[in-house]
Amino acid sequence: MSNDPKMVTLDDLQAYVDEELTPERRAEVETHLAQSPDDAERVSAYRRQNRSLRAALAGVGNEAVPASMLAVLQDRPPVREITWLPRVAAAFLFLAVGGALGGALGWGYDKLPFLDVAEKRFLREAVAAHQIYAVDRRHAVEVAAIERDYLQTWLTRRLGVPIMAPDLSEAGLNLLGGRLISTVNGPAALLVYETAEGERVTCYITAEAKRLAPGKVFLEDEATVALAWPTSSLSYAVSGAASRERLAEIAGVVNRELKQLEDG
């Protein structure tokens, strides 16, 4: 800004409109405006802008605040989410997913975590993929389990990270096959498993481990439960029409198998 007191700058005009000037400077600017129709018009244009913007946006401020926002401030989750691992154990999950997992599973509605937008999106994708494909008796998968090696090579190539189809026979699940899923964030893999009774469980995998905080479960609706967690390089979710305990058991087997595959 100029030291010449008579010199009124564009910044002065902003500060005049926004009432940020000292009373002395304000008086000087007013003197200037009385003599300069151009700048006087400028000032009224800025004020018109403020008024139009406030008017255009007034409706938003008057809308009812969504319950999900208030719920955050009450430590009450907007969706039914529960921790499936205590925090310490969750951090541990990255390193030791073996036998410790089952014992470490702690169900609690008390420590309710909130899912951020990226986590919700991931879980919704997982549940949607499950609901669309798992029910399809004939076309659930693109590549059947008989071509397991090809399936793994193909998904690995498309996702750009190693994708293994874990052996879940310990949880009573046989691999049916897999397919590629498109998402706005890139490709995802869906592995479909089946029990001897024909009940299906899916594993949904993306190459974005950082999208998830560890150890969260998400209950989309009464029909499908999804449980998600990050591995060292992947975001992983298992979904099925099963109890949370059953899903946690399956997740435990998945983790143990993945760990073995990594080590092997």
Partner 1 sequence: MDDLATMIAAEIPALRRYARALLRDAERADDLVQDCLLRAWSRRHLWRQPGNLRAWLFTILHNLYANQMRSLSRQPRFAPSEAAEHMGQNARQGDQLETSEVLDAMDNLNDDQREAILLVGVEGLRYEEAAAVLGVPVGTVMSRLSRGRERLRELTDRGNVPPIRRVK
Q: Which residues bind partner 1 (CB under 8 A)?
A: 10-11, 13-15, 18, 20, 42, 45-46, 49-50, 52-57, 59-63, 65-66, 68-70, 72-75, 114, 116-117
Under DSSP, is residue 189 helix (H, G, I), strand (E, B) or coil?
Answer: strand
Shortest CB 65 distance to partner 1, Å: 5
Closest approach of Cβ 76 to partner 1, in Å?
10
Residue among 88 and 117 whose Cβ is closer to partner 1: 117
- Length of the chain in terms of residues written: 264
- With respect to partner 1, which residue has the nearer C-beta, 57 or 88? 57
Residue position matching structure tokens 């099925």: 240
Q: Determine contact, residues 162/264, Cβ cutoff 8 Å.
A: no
Cβ at position 43, least distance to partner 1 in Å: 10
CB of 104 to partner 1, least distance (A): 23
Q: Which two tokens stand for residue 58?
A: 């007034």
Nearer to partner 1, 80 or 147 (CB): 80
State which residue, 59 or 103, has the beta carbon closest to partner 1. Answer: 59
What distances in angstroms separate CA 17 from CA 6, 68, 152, one per listed residue? 18, 37, 64
Phi/psi at 255 (5° precision) = -60, -40
